[in-house]
């Protein structure tokens, strides 16, 4: 009987302890939920932690990307100096100024080649234009033409080809004064050519040609270029012969030297670019 009472006392104490634990747990739950609302689930906790990590990583990645991205830089302006340049295998004598040009934007080149201007215009623009507000004159002694090149709208190069007038390259006021022969627009990105105007070649018969040849009478030009034949003018130790009237540079062996009027004859051993800087251009015969 005594043992039974002891077991009952132990069981009662155990149940009382369990009741206290349950009561404490219930009290904890009530107090926690009243403060925090509810217990966070494991998935929410993991998601929050993952999200936090992702945001931090994204922030770090964005920061690294911003640091790695190079800041934009402007290309330095390029000044094309007077001198000789090769474009598409054609030699150009380029001058960065034109006599009596008040804008400072006119440039001039002389060359001697039978290639059509549409074959080299884009290459010329890419190599010899310093800015898109320039106007370039190209004197072609081989085709007896003067071409005007300008960028009138973004990406489109405008070309007008005129008949060359004697000495027009020596005065901006006289440039592009000849008859208009052709007009083109070229897309510098694609190379697409649009022909806006092209003079129709005159049609003549063989009889007309023969009649013209028979009736032609040699005419003297302004400096009597065709009236002289002074072969001794070709004998000089200097590098170049100058026609001071037409402002043309010749090699001493050039056949045109003997035709220069004595009052317009001079020689020089200066650097060619210096002479061009003084307004001279090279002969289309002996420099071609």
**Each residue's pLDDT tens digit, 73-105:** 332 467 899 999 999 999 999 999 999 999 999
Cα 193 from Cα 176, distance rounded (Å): 22
Q: What pLDDT is stored for residue 37 in this prediction? A: 59
31 Cβ partners below 8 Å, 6+ apart?
Answer: none
Cα 98 from Cα 171, distance rounded (Å): 7
Q: What pLDDT is stored for residue 227 in this prediction? A: 64
Q: What pLDDT is stored for residue 25 in this prediction? A: 77
Among the listed residues 127, 103, 190, 104, the one whose alpha carbon sits nearest the alpha carbon of residue 155: 190
Among the listed residues 193, 164, 196, the one whose alpha carbon sits nearest the alpha carbon of residue 177: 164
Cβ count near 192 (within 10 Å): 10
| Backbone phi, psi, residue 121, to 5° | -60, -45
Looking only at Cα atoms, what is the longest distance across the chain? 163
Are the CB atoms for 128 and 109 separated by under 8 Å? yes
Q: What pLDDT is stored for residue 203 in this prediction? A: 52
Going from N- to C-terminal start, the domains of the chain cover: 83-198, 220-282
Structure tokens at 263: 């009052």
Structure tokens at 262: 């004595």
213 by DSSP, 3-state: which?
helix
- Residues in the chain predicted with pLDDT less than 70, given as ranges, are 1-3, 32-77, 201-227, 288
- Alpha-carbon 1 to chain mean position: 115
The model's pTM is: 0.49
Q: What pLDDT is stored for residue 74 in this prediction? A: 35
Cα 137 from Cα 175, distance rounded (Å): 8
């Amino acid at each position: 009987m005594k043992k039974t009472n002891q077991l009952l006392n132990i069981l009662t104490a155990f149940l009382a302890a369990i009741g206290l634990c349950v009561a404490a747990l219930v009290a904890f739950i009530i107090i926690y939920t009243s403060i925090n609302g509810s217990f966070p689930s494991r998935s929410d906790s993991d998601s929050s932690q993952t999200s936090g990590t992702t945001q931090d990583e994204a922030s770090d990645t964005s920061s690294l990307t911003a640091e790695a991205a190079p800041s934009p830089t402007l290309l330095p302006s390029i000044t094309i100096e007077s001198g000789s340049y090769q474009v598409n295998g054609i030699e150009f004598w380029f001058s960065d100024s034109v006599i009596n040009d008040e804008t400072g934007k006119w440039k001039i080149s002389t060359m001697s080649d039978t290639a059509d201007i549409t074959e080299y215009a884009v290459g010329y623009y890419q190599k010899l234009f310093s800015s898109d507000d320039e106007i370039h004159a190209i004197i072609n002694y081989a085709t007896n033409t003067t071409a005007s090149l300008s960028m009138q709208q973004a990406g489109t190069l405008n070309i007008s080809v005129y008949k060359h007038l004697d000495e027009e390259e020596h005065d901006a006021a006289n440039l592009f004064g000849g008859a208009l022969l052709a007009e083109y627009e070229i897309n510098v990105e694609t190379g697409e050519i649009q022909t806006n105007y092209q003079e129709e070649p005159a049609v003549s018969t063989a009889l007309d040609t023969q009649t013209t040849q028979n009736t032609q009478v040699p005419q003297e030009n302004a400096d009597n270029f065709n009236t002289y034949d002074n072969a001794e003018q070709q004998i000089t130790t200097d590098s170049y012969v100058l026609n001071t009237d037409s402002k043309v540079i010749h090699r001493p062996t050039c056949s045109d030297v003997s035709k220069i009027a004595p009052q317009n004859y001079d020689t020089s051993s200066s650097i060619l670019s210096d002479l061009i800087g003084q307004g001279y251009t090279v002969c289309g015969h002996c420099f071609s």
